[in-house]
Amino acid sequence: MLTSLSINNYALIDKLSIDFSNGFSTITGETGAGKSILLGALGLVLGKRADLTSLKNKEEKCIIEGHFSIEKYALKDFFELNDLDYEDLTIIRREILPSGKSRAFVNDSPVNLQTLVELSEYLLDIHSQHQTRELTEEQFQFQIIDAVASNQNLLVDYRHKLKNYKSLLNTIEQQKELYAEGLKEQDYLAFLYTELEQAKLIDGEQEEMEIQLEKLNNVELIKEQLEKSLLLSDNEQFGILQQIKEFKIAIQKISQFSSEYALLYERIESISIELKDIVNEVNRFSDSVDNDPERLALITQKLQLIYTLQKKHQVNTVGELLQIQQELNGKVSSLETLEKSILELENQIQKEQTILIDLAKNIHLNRKNSLPSLTKMLISILSQLGMPNVQFNIELTFSDTFFSNGKDTIQFLISTNKGSDFGLLKKVASGGEMSRIMLAVKAVLAQYSSLPTLIFDEIDTGVSGEIANKMGDIMKEMSKNMQIFAITHLPQIAAKGNFHYKVFKSDLGDKTKSEIILLNNDERIIEIAQILSGNSLSDSAINHAKALLN
């Protein structure tokens, strides 16, 4: 529950600190006194967006701090899941800097607004006047029924399964699109792959064949020059080998006379050996060079195929063609893999769909079984609030569509008078009736909720007299299970509170500020009397106020 609230530099508030107690507390004050400012500050603590207009003094930061006693509400798992330090008395602090930036802290640990919003859902619910319209919205109507039907765990499981199911649907849709695109290209890709595969390409073969082609195209010239080389080198009388032989013999004869001549001889011997080896190599080349038209045709044909493929695929090497061949093979094979994956996904989706339908049926059955007790409780409460003839007809239809909370559609029909037809809530109920119905709904939900605190912001709009008195009784009854605040303009409700707070404005020099105080018994009498008769207090108003308080 909310145990205290402190506000610094927010709207019309310089500095304010107030403690709260369990039970039923009422808050009164003139219109414009600052009740909405209090709710706005509390909203910031609970994670609402802030801006610079929140600051009273634009040069200083705004600090709002709420203390919450949470030891009875099983929130340790939430704190552990969000890596927060748990304290039985948890402190939430919100700071708005003059720069416009804001920061949030839970027990002095920084948190983002999303975490703060999620935590606030376990701590406090502020019911403002415009929220009464939620009664006409399907989502809120299902929340009422699901609370009575104890569907919370089933809904958590259903939403988790629905998320997975939608993810699978999204995945299979993407894969089907890829498969459809692949099918359009499959024949052409397969043709390109087969064309490359049949070429039997080998990395590096292009360069080797181009060399062979040069030889075969110039075979006569090569043969002629090789034979000429052999003639020059190996002629018995004038060949290079014979000349070197005689040269070597001449130097050999003088090699014994000095080391220089000996070294010269060794060099000539080395040249002689090398030249003999070269001549032998030329001889082998000459023997191997033949005019081979068939080989020439084969090489020319293969090279032409390679050049054609390179031009088609806009590459320059056989290695690049082989890479493209591998990629094409992967694309062709991936279609088969994709087809198998789609079949597997379809089976998985069918299984998930079956599970979802079973969960939705259980949710539907629980809802249907809870309707008699829900309508009985609502009718009982509303009969106390001046609607003795009210009747509800809540129609649930199990549909073919997966919604975020099951497969049900709902018609929340009501009849407020004897003999009148059932109609949609928003068309049948008046503003005052809507306020009473919402209070009845909140009273029912309080029995099934572990929420610590509920704030009613003028839920009594459109009612008065004995009905207001009964509304006060219902809120006081609710306060046995949770902390209840009621912001009200009605004396009957203000008098029901265990504690009564007053919000008012005061002028200090040229500045106006809002304040809130806890009233003692005498101050309560005066406040309620003023609500009854205005600022001019009469004896009858004071006596009436005392009677209400007693």
pLDDT tens, 505-534? Answer: 888 777 888 889 999 999 999 999 998 887
Instruction: List CB contacts of 528: < 8 A, sequence separation 6 or more.
Output: 491, 494, 495, 545, 548, 549
Predicted pLDDT of residue 121: 87
- Sort strands 24-28 and 499-508 into parallel, antiparallel or unpaired: parallel
Choices 3.40.50.620, 3.40.640.10, 3.90.79.10, 3.40.50.300: CATH for 1-123+451-519: 3.40.50.300
pTM value surpassing 0.85: no
**Residue 74 CB coordination number (10 Å):** 10
CA 525/CA 547 separation, integer angstroms: 9
Helical residues (DSSP H) of 12-121, grouped into ranges: 35-45, 76-81, 113-120
C-alpha closest to that of 352 among 175, 171, 161? 161
* Distance from C-alpha of 307 to C-alpha of 210, rounded to nearest angstrom: 11
CA distances to 144, 150, 159, 396, 425 from 370, rounded to whole Å, are 10, 9, 21, 12, 19
Beta-sheet pairing, 406-415 with 423-424:
antiparallel
pLDDT value at residue 391: 93
**In angstroms, rounded to a whole number, what is the distance separating the alpha carbons of residues 215 and 158?**
78
| pLDDT for 187 | 67
Helix (H) or strand (E) holding 304: helix 293-313
pLDDT of res. 228: 83
What is the model's pLDDT at position 19? 93
Is the backbone of residue 23 left (phi > 0), alpha (psi -120 to 50) or beta? Answer: left
What per-residue confidence (pLDDT) applies to 186?
A: 67
Using CB atoms within 10 A of its CB, is residue 485 exposed (0-12), middle (13-18) or buried (19+)? buried
Q: 3-class SS at 393?
A: strand
Give the residues of the chain that fall short of pLDDT 70: 129-130, 184, 186-187, 236-237, 292, 330, 332-333
Predicted confidence at residue 453, as pLDDT, reads: 92
How far is the C-alpha of 443 from the C-alpha of 453, rounded, in Å?
Answer: 13
Place of tokens 């992967």: 330
Which of helix, strand or coil describes residue 94?
A: strand
